[in-house]
Amino acid sequence: MIKLCHDIAFLIVVKVIALNVLFGQIIDTFASLRDDKAAIDDDIKNKCFICSITKMQFEKHSEGGMERHIKKDHNMWDYVYYIVHLKSKPTSDLTGTESYILENFIEREIIWIPRMKALCLEGIDLGGDEPSDNNDIEYRFLFMKWNKHIKSIEKSVDTLLEKITKKELEEEEK
């Protein structure tokens, strides 16, 4: 009887410890995910997606601030559409600049992206916002995001083309 009680008590203690360790890890993981998300949200709100210049710099030095800059100068969707355009254009029709950008894009080089540069801030000293190694990580992340967008757009274009071809064939049969 004593042995049974001892075994049950031991099992309960081990399970409580194991569960606490597990819950601790789950809570830590959630906290870390929340921190990462907060950092990404802060980046989205306060930095240009293309050039990584902070909102503060635009508000200080540029008319229309960051709102105008991310809509007119560095609209990320313009970049995505441009890459889709380059990928769908026959290689022989590409201009020198276009093939340069496409080659770099395929090689995952970001040299063609205006990094810490914006025409509306030309000649303005951006202080300590010089490119750093951290920006490499940011740009790799940006590149992965773009690739995802581009692939989904390409998929949509392919589906649309398929539908159009099917419809054309159906109409021809009629």
| 51 near Zn ion, judged by CB under 5 A | yes
Distances (CA, A) of 100 to 85, 105, 106: 14, 9, 10
- Point out which span in 12-20, 57-65, 70-78, 94-102 binds Zn ion (CB under 5 A): 70-78
Which residue spans within 54-171 are E strands per DSSP? none
Gap between the Cα atoms of 161 and 100, Å rounded: 28
For residue 99, the minimal CB distance to Zn ion (Å) is: 24
Which of 48, 101 has the CB closer to Zn ion?
Answer: 48
Residues 72-111 that bind Zn ion (CB under 5 A): 74
- Point out which span in 28-36, 42-50, 58-66, 103-111 binds Zn ion (CB under 5 A): 42-50
Which of 84, 116 has the CB closer to Zn ion?
Answer: 116
For residue 71, the minimal CB distance to Zn ion (Å) is: 11
For residue 70, the minimal CB distance to Zn ion (Å) is: 7
- Angle at the Cα of 136 from the Cα atoms of 28 and 131, rounded to 5 degrees: 115
Question: CB of 121 within 8 A of CB of 53?
Answer: yes
Gap between the Cα atoms of 70 and 87, Å rounded: 24
Compute how many residues bind Zn ion; rule: CB under 5 A: 5
Gap between the Cα atoms of 158 and 154, Å rounded: 6
| 48 near Zn ion, judged by CB under 5 A | yes
Residues that bind Zn ion in the complex, under the rule CB under 5 A: 48, 50-51, 74, 118
